[in-house]
Amino acid sequence: MSIDQRLIRDTRTALERLDLSEEDERLGTLETELGEIEAAIERANARRQEISQILHPDRAHPNDRAAPRAIADRLLAGDARGVVIDAAPSRDELEHERETLRLGIGELAQRRDAKRGEIDAVKRAADRKAGAACEDLAIAFRAEATRAAETIRDCFTALQAIETATRMTLADSAASAARTALDGASRDFGLLRRTKFADVPAAIVDALEPLADKGKALSRAAPKQIQLLSY
């Protein structure tokens, strides 16, 4: 590769100096807030499940009836205050509470999603800072990749010309592999402009020229252009 080593060193220096303390602090706050929201959703869901078991005890698994066990534990501990109210709220009150919890969970879910969006935004901001520090290096490597793709294109056209002139199996298989790489560089990554034809390097055309007049057994002129069939 012909990448300037100073550019690589400068990139490392820029990354070492990259300050993401503000992003880290913001992420810490957001993640704490997200944890609180998720815990609140979990508590609300647990309470809704408990209410459903009270309203429909026949549907509850025997091991899931947490409310009666909790009441029994409180009675055994000598705490009878509020037990009757907790144990026997009206059906309307329970259904109202369950619906209120459902609405609250919906609001919490929106806040959770918004908080996750904020977290993603902070991380993207950090990515942009890191990307800016590496931009010059990326540009240099893209230029290097373009030069490599141009070399592959020249290799492909040369190999294809050799195969056309000699029917050589090695040239044919190598040209096929080079064309696959060339297709990717042109179509998928845009390193090269897509064209229908590519010139065979002049030196290769000149080297193969003697084959154009070798008599009946072998008389094939090497092409000066190769059609890029995959385009």
**Do 29 and 103 share a domain, yes or no?**
yes
Are 192 and 136 contained in the same domain? no
Stated pTM of the model: 0.69
Both 113 and 178 in a single domain?
Answer: no
Residues 107 and 127 both lie in one domain? yes
The pLDDT of residue 79 is 55
Residues 66-115 pLDDT 10s: 555 655 565 566 554 444 445 556 888 888 888 998 999 999 999 999 99
**Structural domain count of the chain:** 2
Q: Which of 126, 141, 156 is where one domain is finished? A: 141
Count of beta carbons in the 10 Å neighbourhood of residue 218: 12
Give me the domain span that covers residue 130.
5-141
Same domain for 176 and 112? no
Asked whether residue 26 falls in the same domain as residue 117, the answer is yes
Q: Could you report the per-residue pLDDT of 9-47, keeping only the tens digit for each?
A: 999 999 999 999 999 999 999 999 999 999 999 999 998
At residue 82, the pLDDT reads: 47
pLDDT tens across 116-127, in order?
Answer: 999 999 999 999
